C-alpha cells in the first residue's frame, strides 16, 4: 500500500496535492477556473448554467479528494464493508446537498454573489438524478446519505440508466411522457474507463470431469456486454467520510464490435450490435409496485448484479484472505428482489470459478446476503419464466434448481408427508410456463429478511412468507422501520425551520441525532417560537403558491388549508378516494347558502405524482383530478373555498418545495397495502399534520406523536379480507355520499362521463378491491374534523410543533444503525484527522 511508495515520490505528491478551498475567494477561484477551462466559457458568456457548472465542478473536485482519502482509509482499516444493491436510486439534485454537507454553502453563495448570481437560481439549473420510481428508490438515496454521515464503509451499486424516470407533462388533463435524458451535463459522475467487467449472456453449459473424476460445470459461449463503472461521491454531513455510489453503464465489448462485419462492409450491422449492447442500461422501467417480466429487464438485473459482484469479489481477493472470511468482509443488502440473481451468481463464482464445494460456497452466500421486502402485493412479486432464464442464463438456472433441490430436501426432512408444503415453498412455481419465484430465492439465500414497518413486517410473516417462518423459525425475519434523512428533508428543504430549531436547541446537532428534537417540546408555549414556526409554514405555503401560479396559472390563497397528496398514482394509494372526497366537498359547497359558505375553511387540494405509462386506471385518475380542477377552479360559487391543483412532474426537487408547505397531507392506502410510506414522515417533520389509514408507518408515527396529533380513519388491515369478500358477494351497500359523487360524474359535470366509467364501475360492479366505498364515509367525516380543528389555529400549531418534536425516531440514521447491528454486523470507520470536510 502507501508505505511501499518511495519517499521522494511521496514527497513530490504531497507537495503537489491540490488544496481544498476553505474561503469564499478560494472557492471562487476554483469555480472560475472551471468555467474558463473545463467549460470553455468566459466572463461574457457565463450564464446561470455555466455558473452552476463551475460551482458544481469546484464541489465535485472537493468531494473527489475526500472520496480518495476515505477509500484509502477504509481499505487500510480492513473492516467489513456494506454493499447496497438497488436498481433504483432517486437522488434528486446534488449541489445543494454537497454544499450543506460540507458546510461550505455560505462561501459558495457569497462567491457566486460577487459574480452577480443568486445561489437559488444556480441550484435550480441542475437536473434531478431521477434513477428511480418512488419510495423504494428514494429510500436507497436516504440510506446512502445516512451511511456516509455515520461513517459506515458502504458502497451503493446502481445501474447508470441513460434515461431516468420520464418527465410528466399534462396536456388537456392527460399525462404525456417525455424522455428524461439527464446525462447531457452531469458533473457529479466520474467515469472509470479502466474499471470494466465483461458480462456474459446466453451460451450453454459444458460439463466435464477432472482427473479425479469430479464433475465440473462451465458456462461458455454466448455474447459479451461490457460494464463500465461511473462513480458518484456521496458526502456525509459534518464528517469527512465520502462514500461511493458506483453505477454500471453498458457498452459493446471491444472484441464484440464486430470487425468482421465492419470490414466486410456491413457497417450498419456492426453499429446495430453496439446499440444492442447499449440498450441494456438505456432506460429505467417506469413501473412502481408492478412486475412486467420483460426480457430486457432481466438482462439489466443480471448485468448489474454480475458487474457488482465481480467488483466486490475482486476487492476481496486483494486482501488475500481465505474464502471463509468473505462474509466477515462483505455484507450485501438486496433492495427488494431486483438483485436476487446476485445469489446464484455468487454461488456460481464460488463453485465454478473458484473451485469451492457446494455446501462451503452456499454457507458463504447465505451469510453474505440480507434481503429487504418492500411489498406484499402479488402483482409486484417478481417471477421470471424458466424458459427465459434458461435461454439468457443457462448456468444460473441449473444452480437455482440445485438450490431448490437442497432446500426442498431440507423441508421434506422437517415436514415429512407435507406434499402441499413442498409445492407451496418451491422456488419453482409449477405454472405454464414454470416460473422462478424470486422472493423465495431471496429468502432462502439470505440470513435475514426484513420488512419496512412493523405492520408490514408482521404481514410478511403471516402471508407471503408464512411457510418460511415454519421452516426457518421466526428469527430469520425482522423489522427495520423506514426513515428519511433529516439533512435533505429538513435542513435543505426547509432551511428556515432548521435554523429555528437550531436556535432553540443550541446548534445543528439534531441533524445528526434526530431524537434531540424532543427538546423542542419545552418550547411549545414559547410565544416568539410559535410565531416564527407559524410564519415559516406560511412562507413555505407562499413559495408553493408561487410555484402553482407559475406552472398552472391558478392563484391559490396561502391562508387556505393546504391539503396535499403527492406520490406515485396507484389504486392502492387511493388518489381516487381523495378526488371523490373533493367532489363530495364541491357538491356540499354548491348546496350551501352564503351564510354557510362563510363558515367554511378555505382549502386547496393539491395532487402530484406519475402514473406508469401502461397503467390505464392511474392515468384515468389523473384525468379526473384535472377535469374536476377545471370545473371547481372556475366556478364563481366556490371562489377561494376550494381549489384543485394537479402539479406536473412530481420529483425529488419538487418534493423539496412541496413537503414544507402542507397543513395536511394524505396517506390513505387501503389498510395492509402500503408497506411503510416515507413521505408521511417528511410531511410531519416539516410541521404538517396527516390524515391516514392504519397502514404502514402511519401506525408507528401515531405511536410516536400521539393519536391526538393525527387524523386516522378507515377500516383495519385485519378486516380487509372479509370486506372484500362481502363486496364480491353483494353483501354491502354503496356509500350514500359516494353514490352522489358518482351521480355527478355520470351526469357529465366533469366532462365526458364515459372517460371515467371504468373508475366508477371498478367500485360499483367489480368488487371495489381497494374498499373505497367502505372507507368513504369515515374519510369525509375525518376531513370535516380537520376543518373544525384548523379553525383553532393555536391548537393546530401546538399539534404541529409537538409532532415535529416527536419525530426523532424516523431518521434514516436510526434505520442504518439497526441494519448495521442486526443484519450487517459492520462498524463505522472514523475518518482520518487530517481530512477536511466538516472537521
Ligand atoms: N415500494 O416504491 C416501491 N416500489 C415497489 O416496487 C415496492 C415498494 C415502496 O417502498 C417504500 C420504501 O420501503 C415503502 O415506503 C412503500 O410503502 C413501498 O410502496
- The answer to the question of residue 710 being in a domain is yes
pLDDT 10s digits, 451-481? 999 999 999 999 999 999 999 999 999 999 9
103 and 242 part of one domain: no
How many Å separate Cα 759 from the centre of its chain? 28
φ and ψ of 443, to 5 deg: -65, -45
Decide if 725 is catalytic: no
pLDDT tens-digit map of 755-766: 999 999 999 999
Query: Which CATH number covers residue 375?
Result: 3.40.50.2000
Q: Identify the pLDDT of residue 1.
A: 52
Residue 372 domain flag = yes
Helix and strand counts by DSSP (H, E) for the chain: 34, 24
- Residue 151 lies inside a defined structural domain of this protein: yes
Evaluate if residue 231 carries a pLDDT over 80: yes
Task: Count structural domains, the chain.
Answer: 3
Nearest to 359 by CA among 317, 410, 394: 410
Region 694-707: mean pLDDT is: 99
The x, y and z cell numbers of residue 728, run together, are 364480491
**543 lies in some domain:** no
568 is annotated as an active-site residue: yes
Same domain, 446 and 586: no
Q: Which atom of ligand 1 is nearest to the CA of 139?
A: 12
φ, ψ at 249 (rounded to 5°):
-115, 140
3-state secondary structure 420-481: HHHHHHCCEECCCCCEEEHHHHHHHCCCEEEECCHHHHHHHHHCCCHHHHHHHCHHHEEECC
- CA-CA distance, 773 to 247, in Å (whole number)? 45
Q: At CA 417, angle to CA 411 and CA 420, rounded to 5?
A: 75
Please check whether residue 776 is in contact with residue 742, taking contact to mean a CB–CB distance below 8 angstroms.
no
676 lines ligand 1 (CB under 6 A): yes
- pLDDT for the residue 254: 76
> Of 86, 90, 136, which is best to mutate to test ligand 1, by the most ligand atoms within 8 angstroms of its C-beta?
136
Q: Compute how many other C-beta atoms are within 10 angstroms of the C-beta atom of residue 266.
A: 14
Contacts of 627 (CB under 8 A, 6+ apart): 173, 750, 751, 755
Same domain, yes or no: 106 and 149 = no
User: Would you say 818 and 452 are in contact if contact means Cβ atoms under 8 Å apart?
Assistant: no
Whether the CB-CB separation of 826 and 80 falls below 8 Å is answered with: yes
Structural domain range at position 178: 85-93+128-481
134 alpha carbon – ligand 1 mean position (Å)? 7
Q: How many angstroms separate the CA atoms of 480 and 485, rounded?
A: 15
147 and 243 belong to one structural domain? yes
User: Do 605 and 637 have their domain in common?
Assistant: yes
Would you say residue 246 has pLDDT above 90?
A: yes
Ligand 1: residue whose CA is nearest its atom 5 = 289
Q: Is 380 in the pocket of ligand 1 (CB under 6 A)?
A: yes
111 & 99 share domain: yes
Q: What's the pLDDT at 834? A: 72
Do 693 and 651 share a structural domain? yes
Q: What's the average model confidence in pLDDT over 401-417?
A: 98
What is the 394 CA–ligand 1 centroid distance (Å)?
Answer: 31
In contact, 756 and 620? CB cutoff 8 Å: yes
488 is catalytic: no
Q: How confident is the model over 555-608, as pLDDT tens digits?
A: 999 999 999 999 999 999 999 999 999 999 999 999 999 999 999 999 999 999
Q: Which three cell numbers, joined as nine digits, stand for 637?
A: 360559487
Q: Determine the Cα angle at 414 with ends 408 and 415, to 5°.
A: 85
Cβ–ligand 1 contact at 735 (below 6 Å): no
Distance 374 CA to ligand 1 centre (A): 5
> Cβ(806) to ligand 1 under 6 A?
no
Contacts from 766-770 at CB under 8 Å and sequence distance 24+? 767/724, 767/727, 767/728, 768/724, 768/727, 769/571, 769/724, 769/727, 770/571, 770/572, 770/574, 770/576, 770/577, 770/670, 770/673
Taking only the tens place, the pLDDT of each residue in 417-451 is 999 999 999 999 999 999 999 999 999 999 999 99
pLDDT at position 3, please? 67
Q: Is residue 813 part of a domain?
A: no
pTM, 2 dp: 0.98
CA of 264 to the centre of ligand 1 (A): 51
Residue 607 pairs in a beta bridge with 565, 646
Active-site residue, from 461, 567, 643, 727: 567
> How many other CB atoms are found less than 10 A from the CB of residue 612?
23
Q: Give the tens place of pLDDT for each residue, 96-152.
A: 999 999 999 999 999 999 999 999 999 999 999 999 999 999 999 999 999 999 999
In this predicted structure, the answer to whether residue 522 has a pLDDT above a threshold of 70 is: yes
The kind and range of the H/E element at 622 are helix 616-633
Same domain flag for 617 and 706 = yes
φ/ψ (deg, to 5) at 168: -95, 125
**Segment 601-625, tens digit of pLDDT:** 999 999 999 999 999 999 999 999 9
Ligand 1 centre to CA of 677 (Å) is 7
Q: Which of 442, 465, 481 is the last residue of a domain?
A: 481
Residue 92 Cβ < 6 Å to ligand 1 = no
Instruction: Assess whether the C-beta atom of 479 lies below 6 angstroms from ligand 1.
Output: no
Shared domain for 586 and 657, answered yes or no, is: yes
Provide the pLDDT for residue 266: 79
Question: Which parts of 330-418 fold into alpha helices (H)?
Answer: 342-348, 358-368, 386-392, 394-414
- Ranges of H-type helices in 282-383: 295-318, 326-329, 342-348, 358-368
The pLDDT confidence band at residue 839, using thresholds 50, 70 and 90, is very low
Whether 374 is catalytic is yes
- Distance CA(737)–CA(774), nearest Å, equals 11
Is this prediction's ipTM beyond 0.90? yes
The answer to whether 24 is a known catalytic residue is no
Rounded distance, CA 122 to CA 9, Å? 40
Pick the range with the lowest mean pLDDT from 214-223, 262-271, 341-350, 407-416: 262-271
Picking from 683, 661, 653, 650, the residue whose alpha carbon sits closest to that of residue 543 is 661
The secondary structure of 8-55 as a DSSP string is HHHHHHHHHPPPPP-SHHHHHHHHHHIIIIIS---GGG--HHHHHHHH
Q: What is the pLDDT of residues 61-93, one digit of tens each?
A: 999 999 999 999 999 999 999 999 999 999 999
Rounded CA separation 369/309 (Å): 12
Is any ligand 1 atom within 6 A of the Cβ of residue 375?
yes
Arithmetic mean of pLDDT over the chain: 97
Q: Where are the beta strands (DSSP E) in 552-656?
A: 561-566, 603-608, 642-647
Is 591 within the bounds of a domain? yes
Is it the case that residue 4 has pLDDT exceeding 90?
Answer: no
Query: Would residue 149 show up in a list of annotated catalytic residues for this protein?
Result: no
Find out whether the beta carbon of 337 lies less than 6 Å from any atom of ligand 1.
no
Q: Is 135 in the pocket of ligand 1 (CB under 6 A)?
A: yes
254 in helix, strand or coil? coil
Is the CB–ligand 1 distance for residue 581 below 6 Å? no
Answer yes or no: is 65 within a domain.
yes
pLDDT at 835: 74
Candidate list 138, 338, 374, 523, residue with the active-site label = 374
139 plus 56 within the same structural domain: no
Residue 553, in any domain of the structure? no
Domain co-membership, 655 together with 676: yes
Atom of ligand 1 nearest to the CA of 677: 15
Grid cell of 704 as nine digits: 410516536
Out of 262-266, 372-376, 388-392, which region has the weakest mean confidence (pLDDT)? 262-266
Give the mean model confidence (pLDDT) for residues 331-348.
99
User: Are 178 and 252 in the same domain?
Assistant: yes
**In the predicted model, what is the mean pLDDT of residues 784-794?**
98
Q: How many Å apart are CA 628 and CA 753, to the nearest integer?
A: 12
Residues across the chain: 839
Q: What are the backbone angles phi and psi of residue 505, rounded to the nearest 5°?
A: -95, 0
Amino acid at each position: 500500500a502507501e508505505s511501499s511508495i518511495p519517499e521522494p515520490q511521496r514527497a513530490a505528491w504531497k507537495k503537489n496535492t491540490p488544496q481544498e478551498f476553505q474561503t469564499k475567494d478560494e472557492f471562487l477561484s476554483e469555480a472560475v477556473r472551471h468555467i474558463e477551462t473545463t467549460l470553455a466559457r468566459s466572463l461574457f458568456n457565463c450564464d446561470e448554467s455555466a455558473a452552476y457548472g463551475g460551482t458544481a465542478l469546484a464541489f465535485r473536485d472537493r468531494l473527489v479528494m475526500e472520496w480518495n482519502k476515505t477509500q484509502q482509509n477504509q481499505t487500510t482499516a480492513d473492516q467489513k464493508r456494506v454493499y447496497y444493491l438497488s436498481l433504483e436510486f432517486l437522488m434528486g439534485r446534488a449541489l445543494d446537498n454537497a454544499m450543506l454537507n460540507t458546510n461550505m454553502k455560505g462561501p459558495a453563495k457569497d462567491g457566486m454573489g460577487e459574480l452577480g448570481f443568486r445561489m437559488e437560481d444556480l441550484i435550480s439549473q441542475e437536473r434531478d438524478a431521477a434513477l428511480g420510481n418512488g419510495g423504494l428508490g428514494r429510500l436507497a438515496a436516504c440510506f446512502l446519505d445516512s451511511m456516509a454521515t455515520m461513517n459506515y464503509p458502504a458502497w451503493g451499486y446502481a445501474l447508470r440508466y441513460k434515461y431516468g424516470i420520464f418527465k410528466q407533462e399534462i396536456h388537456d388533463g392527460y399525462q404525456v411522457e417525455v424522455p428524461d435524458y439527464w446525462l447531457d451535463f452531469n458533473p457529479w459522475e466520474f467515469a472509470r474507463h479502466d474499471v470494466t467487467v465483461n458480462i456474459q449472456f446466453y451460451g450453454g453449459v459444458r460439463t466435464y470431469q477432472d482427473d479425479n473424476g469430479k464433475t465440473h460445470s462451465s458456462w461458455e459461449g454466448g455474447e459479451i456486454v461490457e460494464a463500465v463503472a461511473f462513480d458518484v461521491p456521496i458526502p456525509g454531513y459534518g464528517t469527512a467520510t465520502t462514500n461511493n455510489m458506483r453505477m454500471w453503464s453498458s457498452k459493446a465489448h471491444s472484441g464484440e464490435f464486430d470487425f468482421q462485419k465492419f470490414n466486410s462492409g456491413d457497417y450498419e450491422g456492426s453499429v446495430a450490435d453496439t446499440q444492442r449492447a447499449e440498450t441494456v442500461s438505456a432506460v429505467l422501467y417506469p413501473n412502481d409496485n408492478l412486475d412486467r417480466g420483460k426480457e430486457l429487464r432481466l438482462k439489466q438485473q443480471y448485468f448489474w448484479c454480475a458487474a457488482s459482484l465481480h467488483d466486490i469479489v475482486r476487492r476481496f481477493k486483494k486482501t488475500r484472505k481465505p474464502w471463509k472470511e468473505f462474509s466477515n468482509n462483505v455484507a450485501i443488502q438486496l433492495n427488494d428482489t431486483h438483485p436476487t440473481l446476485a445469489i446464484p451468481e455468487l454461488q456460481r463464482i464460488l463453485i465454478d470459478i473458484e473451485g469451492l464445494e457446494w455446501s462451503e460456497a452456499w454457507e458463504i452466500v447465505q451469510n453474505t446476503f440480507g434481503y429487504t421486502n418492500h411489498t406484499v402485493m402479488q402483482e409486484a412479486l417478481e417471477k421470471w419464466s424458466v424458459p427465459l432464464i434458461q435461454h439468457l442464463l443457462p448456468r444460473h438456472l441449473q444452480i437455482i434448481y440445485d438450490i431448490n433441490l437442497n432446500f426442498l430436501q431440507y423441508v421434506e426432512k422437517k415436514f415429512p408427508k407435507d406434499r402441499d408444503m413442498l409445492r407451496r415453498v418451491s422456488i419453482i412455481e409449477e405454472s405454464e410456463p414454470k416460473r422462478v419465484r424470486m422472493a423465495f430465492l431471496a429468502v432462502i439465500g439470505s440470513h435475514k429478511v426484513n420488512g419496512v414497518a412493523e405492520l408490514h413486517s408482521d404481514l410478511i410473516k403471516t402471508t407471503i412468507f408464512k411457510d418460511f417462518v415454519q421452516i426457518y423459525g421466526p428469527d430469520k425475519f425482522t423489522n427495520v422501520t423506514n426513515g428519511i434523512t433529516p439533512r435533505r428533508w429538513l435542513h435543505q428543504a426547509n432551511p428556515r425551520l432548521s435554523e429555528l430549531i437550531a436556535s432553540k436547541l443550541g446548534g445543528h446537532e439534531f441533524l445528526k441525532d434526530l431524537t434531540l428534537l424532543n427538546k423542542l417540546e419545552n418550547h411549545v408555549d414559547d410565544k416568539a417560537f410559535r410565531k416564527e414556526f407559524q410564519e415559516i409554514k406560511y412562507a413555505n405555503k407562499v413559495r408553493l403558491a408561487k410555484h402553482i401560479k407559475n406552472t398552472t396559472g391558478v392563484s391559490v390563497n396561502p391562508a387556505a388549508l393546504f391539503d396535499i397528496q403527492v406520490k406515485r398514482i396507484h389504486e392502492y394509494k387511493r388518489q381516487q378516494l381523495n378526488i371523490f372526497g373533493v367532489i363530495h366537498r364541491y357538491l356540499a359547497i354548491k348546496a350551501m347558502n352564503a351564510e354557510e359558505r362563510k363558515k367554511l375553511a378555505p382549502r386547496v387540494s393539491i395532487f402530484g405524482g406519475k402514473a406508469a405509462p401502461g397503467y390505464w386506471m392511474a392515468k384515468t385518475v389523473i384525468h379526473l383530478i384535472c377535469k374536476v380542477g377545471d370545473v371547481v377552479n372556475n366556478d364563481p360559487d366556490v371562489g377561494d373555498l376550494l381549489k384543485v391543483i394537479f402539479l406536473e412532474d412530481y420529483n425529488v426537487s419538487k418534493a423539496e418545495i412541496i413537503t414544507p408547505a402542507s397543513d395536511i397531507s394524505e396517506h390513505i392506502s387501503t389498510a395492509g397495502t402500503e408497506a411503510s410510506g416515507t413521505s408521511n414522515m417528511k410531511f410531519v417533520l416539516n410541521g404538517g399534520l396527516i390524515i391516514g389509514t392504519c397502514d404502514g408507518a402511519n401506525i408507528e408515527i401515531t405511536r410516536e406523536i400521539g393519536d391526538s396529533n393525527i387524523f386516522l380513519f378507515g377500516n383495519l388491515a385485519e378486516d380487509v379480507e372479509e370486506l372484500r369478500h362481502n363486496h364480491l358477494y353483494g353483501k354491502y351497500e354503496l356509500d350514500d355520499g359516494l353514490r352522489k359523487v358518482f351521480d355527478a360524474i355520470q351526469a357529465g359535470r366533469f366532462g365526458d362521463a364515459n372517460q371515467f366509467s371504468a373508475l366508477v364501475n371498478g367500485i360499483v360492479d367489480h368488487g371495489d378491491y381497494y374498499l373505497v366505498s367502505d372507507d368513504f364515509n369515515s374519510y369525509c367525516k375525518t376531513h370535516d374534523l380537520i376543518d373544525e380543528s384548523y379553525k383553532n389555529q393555536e391548537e393546530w400549531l401546538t399539534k404541529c410543533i409537538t409532532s415535529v418534536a416527536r419525530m426523532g425516531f424516523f431518521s434514516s440514521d436510526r434505520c442504518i444503525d439497526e441494519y448495521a447491528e442486526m443484519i450487517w454486523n459492520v462498524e463505522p470507520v472514523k475518518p482520518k484527522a487530517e481530512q477536511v470536510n466538516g472537521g
